[in-house]
């Protein structure tokens, strides 16, 4: 029987820990926070009763049947479709940009083929052959008017730089739909946990061989007490930032409450640079099966992440990737630790991908235990 430590009680630590506990091992899970669930943490607001997504809204969506069955084994998921609206130029539109948005924005009544012709032949800037930047990519695919209304300002606020400084890869495909489908995600399985994500993670961690210690900060010198550590904290943090800090964007949430219904939907984006926040989320709309007289909303502001802030989105531009490469080299030389999850591998990971990777990591690790071989620093390569 091995003695294993999970640093972090988010989805990565919980899923790996549960798998190893079920395989007969002794598991300790530590988290510096006062709750489990990591960034997916949800809690009921005591005044309104609204289930609040404390670190920003989380919508579960996946095509991975095993992962869908996994989450449903620990919590009931109720149907939820993410339908986002955008306020820009004094009007409210439907996102992602779809036929409704195009017709409303240009004052037309186009059918799908007509809309495609209109965008491709009259809007798109076809003089751009090989788009290099986000801006060129958007101009190439949707043209200046839609780009400026829906992509430019939002992107500048979210990333803190001009879209001409961002790579084209951020906007890969044609970001427009020529039908009235306003479901944000394409995935087969989509839903919201009836009692929130934290309830689900608590159940995943509820096993006699798992010892959960909250408000417990891990430092590297504690690793020796365990046969192996799964570290879902920041990769550079493990090395005390000795090579410098990997760049992140952080978010500030300005919380406010009101009576009734503030905006009539869960997510309202604000595309204009003059509005300092990127969006307002109204949390009761993430649980449409509940009724609450009051409401809890977040205005969301994005900015560069300083030491002490919560790292949200890894920047992963050229400079960050070079530094990441150096940290990966250091990590590969480290003994007795595997780096997992969104922070341990410095990637943006949706919840379903996090769970998929955690399951694969746990299985891969048990294979190494059985074979007596050294587990890798990364079960999934960060680069
Ligand atoms: C703003 C935002 C919105 C998102 N929305 C969605 C969405 O709608 N749908 C979706 O599928 N995914 C979404 N995600 C992704 C989702 O949050 C991640 O997939 C998930 O949180 C990853 O889990 P994790 O366990 O790897 O990391 P985390 O949840 O970050 O957990 C890591 C834990 O480790 C702890 N920790 C770190 N260092 C230490 C230390 N030294 N000692 C002790 N504890 C430590 C932290 O406190 C934290 O609790 C979103 C992410 C962000 C940033």
| Rounded Cα gap, residues 271 and 86, in angstroms | 7
244 C-alpha to center of ligand 1: Å?
22
| Rounded Cα gap, residues 206 and 272, in angstroms | 46
Task: From 318, 95, 369, 340, select the one nearest 231 (Cα to Cα).
Answer: 340
Catalytic residue among 202, 236, 282, 300: 300
Q: What is the mean pLDDT of residues 309-321?
A: 95
| Rounded Cα gap, residues 282 and 264, in angstroms | 8
User: Confidence band (pLDDT; 50, 70, 90) for 173?
Assistant: low
To the nearest whole number, what is the mean pLDDT of the chain? 97
Provide the pLDDT for residue 303: 98
Q: What is the mean pLDDT of residues 129-158?
A: 95
> Measured in whole angstroms, how far is the alpha carbon of residue 262 from the centre of its chain?
25
Residue with CA at minimum distance from ligand 1 atom 49: 38
Catalytic residue among 113, 173, 240, 306: 173
Place of tokens 């083929």: 113
Cis ω for the linkage preceding 304 (within 30 of 0): no
Catalytic residue among 33, 177, 316, 342: 177
333 C-alpha to center of ligand 1: Å?
25
Q: Ligand 1 in contact with 312 (CB < 6 A)?
A: yes
CA distances from 147 to 152, 201, 203 (A): 6, 39, 44
The preferred substitution site among 37, 42, 58 for testing ligand 1, maximizing ligand atoms within 8 Å of CB, is: 58
363 included as an active-site residue? no
Q: Is the pTM of this model over 0.85?
A: yes
pLDDT tens digits along 319-374: 999 999 999 999 999 999 999 999 999 999 999 999 999 999 999 999 999 999 99
| Rounded Cα gap, residues 212 and 371, in angstroms | 29
Q: Ligand 1 in contact with 349 (CB < 6 A)?
A: yes
Domains defined along the chain, listed by start: 3-81+189-247+310-371 (3.40.50.720), 99-171 (1.10.3110)
Q: Determine what percent of the chain is predicted with pLDDT higher than 70.
A: 99
pLDDT tens digits along 174-209: 689 999 999 999 999 999 999 999 999 999 999 999
Provide the pLDDT for residue 170: 85
Which conformational region is residue 259 in: left (phi greater than 0), alpha (psi within -120 to 50 degrees), or beta?
A: beta
Provide the pLDDT for residue 175: 80
Q: Are strands 294-304 and 279-282 parallel, antiparallel or unpaired?
A: antiparallel
Q: What is the mean pLDDT of residues 82-107?
A: 97
Angle between helices 11-22 and 351-371 (to 10 degrees): 40
* SS3 annotation, the chain: CCEEEEECCCHHHHHHHHHHHHCCCEEEEECCCCCCCHHHCEEECCCCCCEEECCCCCCEEECCHHHHHHHHHHCCEEECCCCEEEEECCEEEEECCCHHHHHHHHCCCCCHHHHHHHHHHHHCCCCCCCCCEHHHHHHHHCHHHHHHHHHHHHHHHHHCCCHHHCEHHHHCCCCCCCCCCCCCCCCCEEEEECCCHHHHHHHHHCCCCEEEECCCCCCHHHHHHCCEEEECCCHHHHCCCCCCCCCEEEEEEEEEEEECCCCCCCEEEECCCCCCCCEEEEHHHHCCCCCCCEEEEEEEEEEECCCCCCCCEECCCHHHHHHHHHHHHHHHHCCCEEECHHHHCCCCCCHHHHHHHHHHHHHHHHHHHHHCCCCCCCCCCCC
Q: Ligand 1 in contact with 218 (CB < 6 A)?
A: yes
Residue 172 pLDDT greater than 80, yes or no: no
pLDDT tens digits along 219-264: 999 999 999 999 999 999 999 999 999 999 999 999 999 999 999 9
Provide the pLDDT for residue 174: 67
The preferred substitution site among 16, 28, 40, 382 for testing ligand 1, maximizing ligand atoms within 8 Å of CB, is: 40
Query: In the structure encoding, which two tokens stand for residue 176, read together?
Result: 């427009």
Catalytic residue among 279, 342, 347, 356: 279
The preferred substitution site among 231, 236, 342 for testing ligand 1, maximizing ligand atoms within 8 Å of CB, is: 342
76 included as an active-site residue? no
Q: Ligand 1 in contact with 191 (CB < 6 A)?
A: no
Residue 83 pLDDT greater than 90, yes or no: yes
């Amino acid at each position: 029987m091995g003695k294993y430590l999970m640093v972090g009680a988010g989805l990565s630590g919980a899923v790996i820990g549960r798998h190893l506990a079920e395989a007969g091992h002794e598991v300790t899970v530590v988290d510096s926070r006062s709750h489990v669930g990591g960034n997916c943490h949800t809690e009921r607001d005591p005044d309104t009763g609204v289930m609040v997504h404390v670190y920003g809204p989380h919508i579960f969506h996946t095509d991975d049947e095993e992962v869908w069955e996994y989450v449903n084994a620990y919590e009931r998921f109720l149907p939820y479709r993410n339908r986002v609206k955008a306020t820009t130029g004094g009007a409210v539109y439907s996102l992602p940009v779809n036929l409704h948005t195009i017709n409303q924005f240009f004052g037309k009544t186009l059918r799908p083929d007509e809309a495609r012709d209109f965008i491709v032949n009259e809007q798109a800037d076809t003089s751009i052959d090989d788009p290099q930047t986000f801006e060129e990519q958007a101009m190439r695919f949707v043209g200046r008017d839609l780009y400026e209304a829906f992509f430019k300002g939002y992107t500048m606020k979210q990333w803190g730089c001009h879209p001409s400084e961002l790579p084209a890869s951020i906007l890969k495909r044609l970001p427009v739909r020529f039908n009235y489908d306003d479901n944000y995600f394409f995935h087969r399985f989509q839903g919201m946990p009836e009692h929130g994500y934290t309830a689900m993670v608590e159940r995943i961690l509820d096993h006699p061989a798992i010892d959960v210690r909250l408000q417990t900060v891990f430092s590297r010198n504690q690793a020796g007490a365990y046969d192996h550590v799964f570290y879902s904290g920041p990769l550079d943090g493990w090395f005390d930032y000795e090579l410098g800090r990997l760049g992140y964007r952080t978010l500030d949430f300005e919380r406010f409450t009101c009576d009734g219904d503030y905006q009539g939907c869960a997510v309202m984006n604000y595309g204009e640079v003059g509005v300092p926040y990127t969006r307002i989320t109204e949390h009761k709309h993430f649980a449409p099966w509940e009724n609450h007289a009051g409401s809890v909303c977040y205005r969301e502001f994005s900015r560069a992440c300083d030491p002490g802030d919560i790292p949200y989105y890894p920047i992963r531009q050229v400079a960050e990737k070079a530094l990441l490469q150096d940290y990966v080299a250091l990590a590969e030389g480290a003994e007795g630790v595997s780096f997992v999850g969104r922070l341990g591998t410095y990637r943006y990971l949706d919840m379903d991908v996090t769970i998929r990777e955690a399951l694969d990591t746990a299985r891969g690790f048990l294979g190494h235990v059985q074979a007596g071989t050294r587990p890798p620093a990364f079960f999934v390569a960060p680069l």
